[in-house]
């Protein structure tokens, strides 16, 4: 795989996905600028540098992005947390990323999430799969911040021509660990290949990718993967016998967001499938 001609900034480099990308892309000769609020725990890949910084610090991020052709934005809060904890890194921090991209003419690859649409119900068949242009139905403050991030990308593309690819990541782990992941799992290898194509594709515009492996039970349908030339190569299906159990929680089993919709859930009955209807 050809390495990009300009350096690539990777935020959230000390997290699980960031560490994986730093190693695999670094091994391919990419010039990486790594940053995170916590120290990088691994040996630095050849050609990589690391700066400890908070993405709430716009000046620090601008300095890191100087001369970069792309920003792999994997920084910020990565699980459901109270609003005040999500606010700074996931909203203000993303603004700093896009301002840096606008100044440098860089492409943003944004680690969005399935939790931006987590209150959509699970489909009963392929005909009910969600397409990239479905309505946002976030299942918490974390998912809400990801919907905000995708909308910011839309605005920066329309207003400033900043290209961005929004990766609605399903469940990225070494292997599926529950029944839901038979639909949402993204292998580490497919993640690397996806990020490669996001950076190296000739054009991206404003794009949305369902970031999951080639899972027959996937909840998701059309997206922009052909635009960047990516197709997943792995599948959750070989793990079906290991993880085929169903949880005892009806809310977890009803919605695509799994356990996230259950957090602080207080409705007496589930909301309707049509988000604007009074009832089903």
Question: Percentage of the chain surpassing pLDDT 90?
Answer: 92
CA-closest candidate to residue 212, choices 239, 193, 240: 193
Residue 1: the pLDDT is 63
Instruction: Report yes or no: 68 and 8 within 8 Å, Cβ to Cβ.
Output: yes
The more confident residue out of 246 and 59 is: 59
Task: Give the SS3 label for residue 265.
Answer: coil
* pLDDT category of residue 247 using cuts at 50, 70 and 90: confident
CA-closest candidate to residue 186, choices 194, 121, 73: 194
Give dist(CA 71, CA 68) in Å, integer: 7
CA atoms within 13 A of residue 30's CA, in its CB half-sphere:
27
Give dist(CA 20, CA 241) in Å, integer: 27
Give dist(CA 57, CA 73) in Å, integer: 15
Residue pLDDT, tens place only, 173-231: 999 999 999 999 999 999 999 999 999 999 999 999 999 999 999 999 999 999 999 99
Give dist(CA 130, CA 210) in Å, integer: 10
Active site residue 239: no
Give dist(CA 91, CA 68) in Å, integer: 22
Residue pLDDT, tens place only, 38-67: 999 999 999 999 999 999 999 999 999 999
Residue 62: the pLDDT is 96
- pTM, two decimals, is 0.96
Residue 189: the pLDDT is 98
Instruction: Report yes or no: 99 and 35 within 8 Å, Cβ to Cβ.
Output: no
**Quick one: DSSP state of residue 26?**
H
Q: Report, as an integer, the average pLDDT of 125-138.
A: 91
Paired residues of 209 in beta bridges: 167
Q: Which residues contact 118 (CB under 8 A, 6 or more apart)?
A: 137, 138, 139, 140, 143, 255, 256, 257, 258, 260, 261
Instruction: Report yes or no: 194 and 211 within 8 Å, Cβ to Cβ.
Output: yes
* pLDDT category of residue 274 using cuts at 50, 70 and 90: confident
Going from the N-terminus, what domains does the chain have, and what CATH number goes with each? Answer: 8-262 (3.40.50.720)
* Structure-token pair, residue 25: 């892309």
* pLDDT category of residue 248 using cuts at 50, 70 and 90: confident
Task: Give the SS3 label for residue 210.
Answer: strand
Between 68-72, 149-153, 269-273, the lowest mean confidence (pLDDT) is in 269-273
One of 95, 98, 141, 142 is an active-site residue; which one?
142
Residue 275: the pLDDT is 84
Give dist(CA 91, CA 134) in Å, integer: 22
Residue pLDDT, tens place only, 89-115: 999 999 999 999 999 999 999 999 999
């Amino acid at each position: 795989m050809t390495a990009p001609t300009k350096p690539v900034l990777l935020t959230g480099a000390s997290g699980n996905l960031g560490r994986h990308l730093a190693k695999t892309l670094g091994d391919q000769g990419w010039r990486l600028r790594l940053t995170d609020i916590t120290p990088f725990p691994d040996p630095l890949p050849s050609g990589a540098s690391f700066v400890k910084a908070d993405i709430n610090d716009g000046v620090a991020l601008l300095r890191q992005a100087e001369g970069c052709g792309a920003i792999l934005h994997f920084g910020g809060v990565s699980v459901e947390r109270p609003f005040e904890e999500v606010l700074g890194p996931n909203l203000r921090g993303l603004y700093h990323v896009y301002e840096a991209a606008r100044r440098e003419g860089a492409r943003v690859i944004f680690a969005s999430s399935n939790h931006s649409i987590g209150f959509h119900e699970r489909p009963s068949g392929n005909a009910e799969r969600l397409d990239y242009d479905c309505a946002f139905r976030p299942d918490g403050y974390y998912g809400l911040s990801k919907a905000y991030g995708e909308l910011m990308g839309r605005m920066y593309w329309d207003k400033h021509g900043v290209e961005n690819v929004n990766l609605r990541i399903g469940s990225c782990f070494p292997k599926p660990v529950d029944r839901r992941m038979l639909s949402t799992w993204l292998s580490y290898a497919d993640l690397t290949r996806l990020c490669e194509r996001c950076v190296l594709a000739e054009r991206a515009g404003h794009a949305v990718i369902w970031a999951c492996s080639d899972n027959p039970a996937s909840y998701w349908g059309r997206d922009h993967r052909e635009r960047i030339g990516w197709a997943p190569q792995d599948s959750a299906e070989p793990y079906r016998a290991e993880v085929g159990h169903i949880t005892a929680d009806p809310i977890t089993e009803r919605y695509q967001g799994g356990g996230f919709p259950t957090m602080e859930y207080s409705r007496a009955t589930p909301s309707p499938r049509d988000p604007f209807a009074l009832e089903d």
